[in-house]
Amino acid sequence: MAKVIGKIIIDIEHCKGCELCVESCPHDCISIADTINAKGYQYAIMVNDHCTGCVNCALVCPDAVISVYRKVVREPKPAKIKEVEIS
């Protein structure tokens, strides 16, 4: 089965923490950091690996600080091994 791995890179120094990306993410991958950047903004960070690279966050980002990557990994089917692990 193919697995989609999405990643985003946020230019945190130019992020203004507007949260539009947080709202736009269908997989709740983005949150606002507790720390601030040099301009004093609490910037956006990626908080989990559910990202599919859908680019919604980058589309709505007014400051163009998000780059999005997406890799489709075709995995073999070691289904039985997985079952063993679960049991």
Nearer residue to other proteins within complex by CB, 4 or 78:
4
Return residues touching other proteins (CB under 8 A): 5-7, 9, 14, 16-20, 23-24, 41, 49, 53, 55-56, 58-71
Least distance between other proteins and beta carbon 27 (Å):
13
Cβ neighbors of 59 (< 8 A, separation 6 or more) are 24
8 within 8 A of 66, measured Cβ to Cβ:
yes
Distance CA 10, CA 57 (A): 10
Least distance between other proteins and beta carbon 4 (Å):
10
Nearer residue to other proteins within complex by CB, 34 or 83:
34
Least distance between other proteins and beta carbon 2 (Å):
14
In 3D, which of 62, 59, 71, 66 has the Cα closest to residue 24? 59
Nearer residue to other proteins within complex by CB, 62 or 76:
62
* Strand pairing class (30-36; 42-46): antiparallel
